[in-house]
Amino acid sequence: MTRTRATAFGFIAILLWSLLALFTVGSAPVPPLLLNALTFAIGGALGLVWVARSGGFGQLRQVSWKVYAFGTAGLFGYHLLYFSALRMAPAAEAGLIAYLWPLLIVLFSGLLPGERLSGLHILGATVAFAGAALIVGGRLLEGGVTLTGSALAGYGLAFLCALTWAAYSVLSRRLGEVPTASVAVFCIATAVLSAVAHVLTEATVWPQNGMGWLSVLALGLGPVGLAFYVWDLGVKKGDIQVLGTVSYAAPLLSTLALVLAGQAQADLRLLLAAGLVAGGAALAAWASAVAKRLESGAIRPAKGG
């Protein structure tokens, strides 16, 4: 698989994650961990189909238990921290902190073998983050920042959430030879752990109508299903720096989906955020293109002095 095609698969994950908020609203009042268990069970079942079509179940026996532990910890840990953060702190502030993960991916990727982090990558990530901040943190200007003890703990969990997903994504690059089919096991194990945590900590509330069940199914097939498989391909084989920066489009596209569904209202802030996200992504993509041309000798660096 080419680097360009793998990067395109990563873009599919970002598009699917943009529907996460819309389908989550539709799945109410299912509690978070039960929703996690249901959707990851669907995502795991989808993965079994992936396994059958990509080499059979025998390939899973070649994967180390350490890889399975790593993947499960990444998926389960991220969602547990995310849901807990949004319970303890205001959603706007906690969501903004959690969305530091694309910036951290871009920065951490510079530590990977064969990857080079330029000033344009950092500038692009920063510009795109400003756009994400306008979307996720827009309500901060209206209500101010909450700094109670519970909220502060929630902010801390949100930052750990960002670190968890950034580390999972970047370290997945080091597992390039591990088949993407292994993500099916990550999903199934996450579903089991979430079900256990739900029984211990939550009251069971099922979807109330057909739309609720359809939303759960859509989550499991898309944002909490297929998205993880194509993201795995993207971060292992694609341009991880561009993917990290373009990930800022997720909160923007999520807001657009809510606007189209009548759950949010478009305004000047949305348009400005769109420009910042697009501009930041373009800077990162340009930086990667320049780096590739330098490596291939198509262009030569300017001489100093």
Is position 216 within any domain?
A: yes
In a domain, 16, yes or no: yes
* 305 part of a folded domain: no
User: Is 301 within a domain?
Assistant: no
For residue 127, what are its two tokens? 């510009």
- Tell me the whole-structure pTM to 2 decimals: 0.76
Question: The domain containing residue 59 runs over which residues?
Answer: 3-293
What is the per-residue pLDDT for 305? 42
Q: Which residue type does 11 have?
A: F
How far is 97 from 244, CA to CA, in rounded Å? 15
Helix (H) or strand (E) holding 99: none
- 135 neighbors 280 (Cβ within 8 angstroms): no
Q: Does some domain include residue 25?
A: yes
pLDDT of residue 91: 65
Any idea which residue has 């189209």 for tokens?
Answer: 260
Full pLDDT tens readout for the chain, 305 residues = 788 899 999 999 989 988 887 888 788 888 889 999 999 999 999 999 888 887 788 888 888 899 999 999 999 998 888 878 877 776 666 776 777 787 787 777 776 666 666 777 788 778 877 876 776 555 555 555 555 667 778 888 888 988 998 888 888 877 767 888 899 999 999 999 999 999 998 899 999 999 999 999 999 999 889 999 998 889 888 887 788 777 777 777 777 787 787 766 666 776 677 677 777 767 776 776 676 666 666 555 555 54
- Count how many domains the chain has: 1
| 299 within some domain | no
* Alpha carbon distance 199, 286 (integer Å): 49
| Rounded-to-integer distance, Cα 223 and Cα 132, Å | 19
Q: Is residue 304 part of a domain?
A: no
Residue 213: inside a domain: yes
Helix and strand counts by DSSP (H, E) for the chain: 15, 0
Class of residue 299 by CB neighbours under 10 A (exposed 0-12, middle 13-18, buried 19+): exposed
> Do 45 and 163 touch, CB atoms closer than 8 A?
no
